[in-house]
Amino acid sequence: MQVATLDFGIEKVLKTLGIEEINQGSSTGKKWFSSGESISSFSPVDGELIAKVKTTTKEDYEKVILSAQEAFKSWRLMPAPKRGEIVRQFGDKLRELKEPLGKLVSYEMGKSYQEGLGEVQEMIDICDFAVGLSRQLHGFTMHSERPGHRMYEQYHPLGIVGIISAFNFPVAVWSWNTALAWICGDVCVWKPSEKTPLCGIACQKIAAEVFEANGLPEGISCLIIGDYKVGELMTTDKRVPLVSATGSTRMGKIVAKTVGERLGRSLLELGGNNAIIVTPDADIKMTIIGAVFGAVGTAGQRCTSTRRLIIHESIYDKVKNALVDAYKQLKIGNPLDQKNHVGPLIDRDAVSMYTHALEKVVEEGGNVLVEGGVLNGEGFESGCYVKPAIAEAKPNFEIVQHETFAPILYLLKYSGDINAAIEIQNGVVQGLSSAIMTNNLREAESFLSHAGSDCGIANVNIGTSGAEIGGAFGGEKETGGGRESGSDAWKVYMRRQTNTINYTADLPLAQGIKFDL
């Protein structure tokens, strides 16, 4: 396996995670096999080749699915609290490997090391949540209209859960799905982004060690590697009752149509075009902190990144000037250097989308306040580093209506009351995350009301980015309507069943129907 050499020690990281010798991307646990073509994982940090990994063929995929089907037969029979114990051990293993896995996330994806550690912490947190949930997979008991009858409902595992994740959160989103699916009694087949395959391999190795140590069969945790063609093997497969897909709205529509045609289930976490409303009663200092992190964190490559700042005209100039000053303090560079705030975009295609968006906003009549651009020279050899930019725009600009996965923040001005701002905020096709900055209770409650934000996430006096795992995560409209992580999101990974028990010697029918023989 060819690996890059970097001062933070990528070779040591790969060795610690047990993946320095693996160049195959299909796995059912401890078993690895692949007969497809190789893909290369390049780091956006320095442009170096990290490793080459073989992709999954149709024949490889068939081996994975058959193994998963067989594992499901025994895994579903293990009591949920016992499955929770396995997830607890997995969480403990992540605690041991938090530092090297966080470094791999940072180097392969390009987010800051602190964010890489935070992503692994999300994995640990969802494991803790799932362990507790394993003793709370409850149903309900209902009163029957028929004497001597009892009604209740319960939940059963679905079977194989297919997971398609994106590059921007290369490990956390998988764990949101798989930790819950495992305690529900499902087995998982994961296709990580082809842009971050090593993160997927590392997680598979960690999980496989836990399952093997407990004498559990191959197939509970499975991995497949490749582009959209490998994902299509799952979306078209009737043996995969649920496909959870994270990515662009364009991709999600294809997944929804394909899975829907076979009457399967899809859990979609798609694009966001997130806004913060800033009212005259906002705390400006808090606003600047929330807006800047939301806009430039992960170089603007979060689905919850702040894209639009909707500011009341009475404080517009004050907020604008404070933002421009704050951007002057941003440090761009190697994300493994904790002095830097902003790392690279994932690849040069992302850079092209960034430059196109800045050109487009000017074409439509916008004014660039903080100039963007691609950085070159020492430390920026990968060609993936860009300057976070701010542009004044109008809500109806075409480019403002789209999600650009890059650190571009649009400033939009509103006049009138809070309802005018909410109308602007809701005036896009995406509906993931939203926020309002205000100390006015009436404005806050209006924002959270039935006539307020139409997003799946609505925050008051915090930004759009940085959700906790305890709440259900997801959005409405073209964000897809899916919910992952906390609350009762576990129900999507199970099938619901209503049961009626007659403990008498008679057989009365519902609705008083008479049928005598």
Active-site residue (options: 303, 443, 478, 484): 303
Whole-Å CA distances, 184 to 78, 110, 164: 10, 33, 19
Find all residues with CB under 8 Å of 100, minimum gap 6, and list them.
Answer: 12, 13, 16, 17
DSSP state of 442: H
| CB-based contacts of 231-239 (< 8 A; 24+ apart in sequence) | 231/164, 231/191, 231/255, 232/258, 233/56, 233/58, 233/61, 234/162, 234/164, 234/189, 234/191, 235/162, 235/259, 236/262, 237/65, 237/162, 238/262, 238/264, 239/65, 239/69, 239/159, 239/160
Letter string b/e over residues 197-218, b meaning 16 or more CB atoms within 10 A of that residue's CB: bbbbbbbbbbbbbbbeeeebbb
Q: Is 384 a catalytic residue?
A: no
Residue 410 has which token pair? 């649009």
Helix (H, G, I), strand (E, B) or coil at 479: coil
Max distance between CA atoms of the chain, in angstroms, equals: 90
Give SS3 for 389.
Answer: strand
Helix (H, G, I), strand (E, B) or coil at 441: helix
Q: Which two tokens stand for residue 178?
A: 């798989």
Query: Which one from 48, 115, 194, 269 is the annotated catalytic residue?
Result: 269
Q: 309 - beta bridge partners?
A: 276, 411
Burial class (CB in 10 A: 0-12, 13-18, 19+), 147: exposed
**Would you say how long the chain is, in residues?**
517
Cα distance between residue 227 and residue 219, in whole Å: 22
Phi, psi of 417 (to 5 degrees): -90, -175
Instruction: Note if 303 is an active site residue.
Output: yes
Three-state secondary structure call for residue 391: strand
Catalytic residue set: 269, 303
